[in-house]
Amino acid sequence: ENVFNIIGAFDIPRFIYNSERKKFLPLSMTSLPAPNLFGSARDKAELFRERYSILQQRTHRHELFTPSPIVAHPDDSKSKFQLKTVETLLGNTAKVGEVIVLGMITQLKEGKFFLEDPTGVVQLDLNFLTFPHQFHSGLYTESCFVLAEGWYEDEVFHVKAFGFPPTEPSATTRAFYGNINFFGGPSSASVKASAKLKQLEDENKDAMFVFLSDVWLDQAEVLEKLHTMFSGYSSAPPTCFFFCGNFSSAPYGKNQIQSLKGSLKALADIICEHPSIHKSSRFVFVPGPEDPGPGSVLPRPPLAENITEEFRELVPFSVFTTNPCRIQYCTQEIIIFREDLVNKMCRNCIRFPSSNMDIPNHFVKTILSQGHLTPLPLYVSPVYWAYDYSLRVYPVPDMLVIADKYDPFTVTNTDCICINPGSFPRSGFSFKVFYPSNKTVED
């Protein structure tokens, strides 16, 4: 029935967390207007409030923060933490010792950091954060949400440790919210609940997804390597090829659209030379930051139809989709996002991690803890305010593909495989292959 679906960013269902009912409600059950590309000021504030409420309900459920039942031994109840709001701090004149607050780091005045949540804002003093162990792993950027631990005195919150909100495997999320289909696609309930699809997934051992990023179709060498790759796969064609942009090596210029049409035609000719692949593989194209389109605001629409028309006639099993996009294959959920995020996040860190070796782990942890693809200030990574929900990574998918020009990596965190295929021409023509039946990734 719904074995393979490609869900564009603008088709993702919108759910709003209702704190009174402790449930996610679909947009149609609330009084909110349908999203609009030209958002109102309310949408901009709402975007951060929603990111907060999602993280807050997730943190409250974590065993460290659930209020303990009344216990016989008084020592047992000590290990739990209590989350406070900024308002609780601001309402106190005396010193408040040892509190943990969930909030967003902002720089409201230059050089001074503040912690903000829906109830208020408090200035942070980060001078006590001198040792690496006081930062739990992750990239702490502006506009990301943190659990800050410290004490409050004289209208300043002195932080002695920073951590991220705990992540939660998608099975746990579903245990709380039932079979709501947060992900999108034709199915009314979550595909995780379908035994039929699970069986199909296990039986189809040959299913295989190939991910490439920065497929510069205007470079002869890239086309040559694609030719080699297709010849190698022609005996056992993969289920789907995912090509992420940029599709030209040099951005912009008045002839870009014309030359992109020509290079897509060249790719179509190569595909047609391999009839087995042409007949049984699908091709999905995700635009990159420098492909022709309406600028760098996310989510980004697909490549324009007049550019891709000729290609789609030659290769009927091809889909040009948005960036980011979602793929549902049997019971697996995959999110694909093409953006040079690692670089942006490292540049906007409050403090850079002490070891460079672990950047991929820090990076993946940050994305999954924040439950969002771009935990960055809007001036660094602009988003259509009303469509911010399409960048959520909550519940955690089975696989997250962040196509970045950074070195390729494969990291598993919270039951989610996170891969970066790396830039195809820059990383010695590397790409990643994913086998959904046993969830393994090969380079």
The DSSP line for 70-122 is P-SSGGGGGG---EE-HHHHHT-SS-EEEEEEEEEEEEEETTEEEEEETTEEE
Residue 424: both structure tokens together: 């195809």
| Backbone φ and ψ of 431, nearest 5° | -150, 170
Q: Which two tokens stand for residue 407?
A: 């070195």
Residue 21 lies in a domain: no
| Backbone phi, psi, residue 97, to 5° | -95, 155
Over residues 76-80, the mean pLDDT reads: 55
Give the burial class of 237: count Cβ atoms within 10 A of its Cβ; 0-12 exposed, 13-18 middle, 19 or more buried: buried
327 contacts 5 by C-beta, under 8 angstroms: yes
Total domain count for the chain? 1
Question: Are 320 and 8 in contact, with CB atoms under 8 Å apart?
Answer: no
Question: Per 3-state DSSP, what percentage of the chain is helix, strand, and coil (rounded to 5)?
Answer: 30, 30, 40
Task: Give the domain range for residue 217.
Answer: 190-442
Q: The CATH number of the domain where 431 resides is what?
A: 3.60.21.50
Is residue 239 in some structural domain? yes
Range with lowest mean pLDDT among 65-79, 109-123, 265-279? 65-79
Measured CA to CA, the distance from residue 333 to residue 330 in angstroms comes to 8
Residue 429 in any domain: the answer is: yes
- Does any domain span residue 318? yes
pLDDT (average), residues 367-395: 95
Q: Does any domain span residue 115?
A: no
pLDDT in tens, 303-313: 999 999 999 99
Residue 172 covered by a domain:
no
The arrangement of strands across the sheet holding 409-413 comes to: 4-8, 325-329, 332-338, 399-403, 416-420, 409-413
Q: How far is CA 68 from the centre of its chain?
A: 33
For residue range 331-348, list pLDDT tens digits in order.
999 999 999 999 999 999
Is the pLDDT at 105 greater than 70, yes or no?
A: yes
Residue 396 has pLDDT above 90, yes or no: yes
| pLDDT confidence tier of residue 317, bands split at 50, 70 and 90 | very high
For residue 167, tell me if it sits in a domain.
no
Structure-token pair, residue 44: 């901009």
Least confident among 195-204, 244-253, 340-349: 244-253
Mean pLDDT of the chain: 91
pLDDT at position 71 over 70:
no
In the chain, % of residues over pLDDT 70: 95
Residues 111-136: tens digit of each pLDDT: 899 999 999 999 999 988 877 677 77
User: Would you tell me how many other CB atoms lie within 10 Å of the CB of residue 3?
Assistant: 15
Q: Decide if 267 contacts 277 (C-beta within 8 A).
A: no
Global pTM? 0.93
Residue 278 maps to a domain: yes
Within 8 A by CB and 6+ apart from 275, the residues are none
